Amino acid sequence: MSNSYTKTTRNSWGSRIANSFMGVLFGFLLIPLSIWGLWWNEGQPDLSVLAEKSIAVDASQINPDTEGQFVAVTGKLDSDATLADDPWMQAGKYISLYRRVEMYAWEESTSTTETEDTIGGGSTTSTTYSYNKTWTETPGNSANFEYPAGHENPTKPIDSQGKSVESATIGVYQIAAQQITLPGGERISPQPGTLPDGYILQGEYIYNRAEAASNPQVGDIRISIDALKSGVTVTALGQQQGQQIVRYEVDKQEFYRVFSGSREDALATLHTEYLIRIWLIRIFGMLGIFIGLQLIVGPIGRILGVIGILGKAVDGIFGIVNAILALAIGFAVIIISQIFHNIWLLLIIIALIVAGVVYYLRNRSNKIATNPSTSSDTPTDNTPPAMT
Residue 113 has pLDDT above 70, yes or no: yes
Phi, psi of 35 (to 5 degrees): -65, -40
| 67 C-beta neighbours (distance < 10 Å), count | 12
Residue 173 has pLDDT above 50, yes or no: yes
Rounded (10°) angle between helices 308-341 and 263-304: 150
CA 354 to the chain's CA centroid: 39
User: What pLDDT, on a 0 to 100 scale, did the predictor assign at position 351?
Assistant: 77
Range of the domain at 204: 53-261
* Whole-number Å distance between alpha carbons of 11 and 181: 51
Q: How do strand 55-58 and strand 70-78 relate by DSSP bridges?
A: parallel
Structural domain includes residue 271: no
Confidence band, pLDDT 50/70/90 cuts, at residue 382: low
Residue 345 has pLDDT above 70, yes or no: no
| Mean pLDDT calculated for residue range 43-59 | 94
293, exposed or middle or buried, with CB in 10 Å at 0-12, 13-18, 19+?
Answer: buried
Q: 142-169, pLDDT tens digit by residue? A: 999 999 999 999 999 999 999 999 999 9
Element (H, E) at 277: helix 263-304
Structural domain includes residue 267: no
User: What pLDDT, on a 0 to 100 scale, did the predictor assign at position 259?
Assistant: 97
User: What pLDDT, on a 0 to 100 scale, did the predictor assign at position 379?
Assistant: 52
* Whole-number Å distance between alpha carbons of 1 and 330: 49
Structural domain includes residue 336: no
Mean confidence (pLDDT) of the chain = 91
Give the per-residue SS3 of 152-193: CCCCCCCCCEEEECCEEEECCEEEECCCCECCCCEEECCCCC
Strand partners, 108: 131
Q: What is the longest distance spanned by two Cα atoms in the chain?
A: 131
Residue 344 has pLDDT above 70, yes or no: no
Structural domain includes residue 189: yes
Residue 381 has pLDDT above 60, yes or no: no
Percent of the chain predicted with pLDDT > 90? 77
Structural domain includes residue 61: yes
User: What pLDDT, on a 0 to 100 scale, did the predictor assign at position 385?
Assistant: 56
Structural domain includes residue 301: no
| Mean pLDDT calculated for residue range 217-240 | 97
Between 377 and 18, the higher pLDDT residue: 18
Q: Which long-range contacts (CB under 8 A, 24 or more apart) does 174-178 make?
A: 174/243, 174/244, 174/245, 175/236, 175/238, 175/244, 175/245, 175/258, 176/246, 177/79, 177/95, 177/96
Which residues contact residue 304 at a Cβ distance below 8 angstroms, ignoring those fewer than 6 apart?
Answer: 310, 311, 314
User: What pLDDT, on a 0 to 100 scale, did the predictor assign at position 348?
Assistant: 75
Which residues contact residue 141 at a Cβ distance below 8 angstroms, ignoring those fewer than 6 apart?
Answer: 153
CA triplet 315, 321, 323: central angle to 5 degrees? Answer: 95
Residue 388 has pLDDT above 50, yes or no: no
Structural domain includes residue 114: yes
- With CA atoms as reference, report the closest residue to 156 among 103, 208, 222: 103
| Mean pLDDT calculated for residue range 207-221 | 95
Structural domain includes residue 308: no
Confidence band, pLDDT 50/70/90 cuts, at residue 309: confident
Please tell me the total count of domains within the chain: 1
Confidence band, pLDDT 50/70/90 cuts, at residue 346: low
